[in-house]
Amino acid sequence: MKKSSSTKFKKDFWQKRKVLITGGCGYLGRELVKNLISLGSFITVIDKTKKENCPIANQFPEVDLISEELNQINVVFDILKSKNIQTVIHLAAQSGVPGSQANPVAAFQANVQTTWSLLEACRLYGKVSEIVHVSSNHIYGDQKEKPTLEEAPLNSFGVYGASKACSDLIARCYAKSYGLPIGIARVTNTFGGEDPHLTHIITYTINKVLKGEPPIIKSHGLNSKGFLFLEDTIEAIKLLTEKINELNLKGEAFNFAPDEPIKIIDLVNKITKLTGETYLKPVILGKLTDPVEEEWLSNKKAKKILGWHPKYSLEEGLKITIDYFLRKG
User: What residues are annotated to the active site?
Assistant: 160
Q: Give the phi and the psi of residue 243 in degrees, each rounded to 5.
A: -95, -10
pLDDT band with cut points at 50, 70 and 90 for residue 8: low
AA identity, residue 165: A
pLDDT value, residue 319: 98
Instruction: Kindly give, in sequence order, each residue whose CB lies less than 8 Å from that of residue 232, ignoring residues fewer than 6 positions away.
Output: 256, 310, 311, 312, 317
Q: Out of 168-177, 286-295, 310-319, pick the least confident.
A: 286-295
Nearest-10 Cα torsion for 186, 190, 195, 201: 120
Quote the DSSP letter at residue 291: P
pLDDT value, residue 67: 95
pLDDT band with cut points at 50, 70 and 90 for residue 10: low
AA identity, residue 304: K
pLDDT value, residue 7: 52
pLDDT band with cut points at 50, 70 and 90 for residue 194: confident
Angle in degrees, CA 265, 267, 270, rounded to 5: 110
Q: Out of 5-19, 239-253, 266-280, pick the least confident.
A: 5-19
Chain segment 157-172, per-residue pLDDT in tens: 999 999 999 999 999 9
In the chain, where the domains are located: 18-193+226-260+294-312
Q: What is the 3-state secondary structure (H, E, C) of 144-168?
A: CCCCECCCCCCCCCCHHHHHHHHHH
Instruction: Kindly give, in sequence order, each residue whose CB lies less than 8 Å from that of residue 129, ignoring residues fewer than 6 positions away.
Output: 86, 87, 181, 245
Instruction: Pick from 2-6, 102-106, 290-294, 319-323 the range whose average pLDDT is largest.
Output: 319-323
What is the C-alpha to C-alpha distance for residues 33 and 89, in angstroms, rounded to an integer? 11
Give, in order, the Cα–Cα distances in Å from 92 to each of 63, 138, 148, 262, 326.
Answer: 17, 16, 25, 28, 30
pLDDT value, residue 5: 47
Task: Report the b/e string of 70-94 with b at 16+ CB within 10 A.
Answer: beebebbbebbeebebbbbbbbbbb
Checking DSSP bridges between strand 227-229 and strand 18-22, what pairing results, if any? unpaired
3-state DSSP assignment of residue 183: strand
Report the half-sphere exposure of 212 (CA within 13 A, side-chain side). Answer: 0
Closest CA to 214 of 204, 224, 222: 204
At residue 4, does pLDDT exceed 50?
no
Chain segment 214-269, per-residue pLDDT in tens: 999 999 999 999 999 999 999 999 999 999 999 999 999 999 999 999 999 999 99
Between residues 42 and 9, the one the model is more confident about: 42
8 A C-beta contact, residue 321 and residue 192: yes
What is the C-alpha to C-alpha distance for residues 270 and 273, in angstroms, rounded to an integer? 5
Chain segment 58-87, per-residue pLDDT in tens: 899 999 999 999 999 999 999 999 999 999
Q: What is the 3-state secondary structure (H, E, C) of 210-251?
A: HCCCCCEECCCCCCEECEEEHHHHHHHHHHHHHHHHHCCCCC
Give the relative orientation of helices 27-38 and 230-246 as an angle to the nearest 10 degrees: 60
Q: Is the dihedral of CA 51, 52, 55, 61 positive or negative?
A: positive
| CATH code assigned to 18-193+226-260+294-312 | 3.40.50.720
Task: Report the b/e string of 20-57 with b at 16+ CB within 10 A.
Answer: bbbbbbbbbbbbbbbbbbebebbbbbbbbbeeeebebb
Mean pLDDT for the chain? 94
Tell me the mean pLDDT in the region 49-63: 92
What is the C-alpha to C-alpha distance for residues 39 and 222, in angstroms, rounded to an integer? 41
Tell me the mean pLDDT in the region 304-326: 97
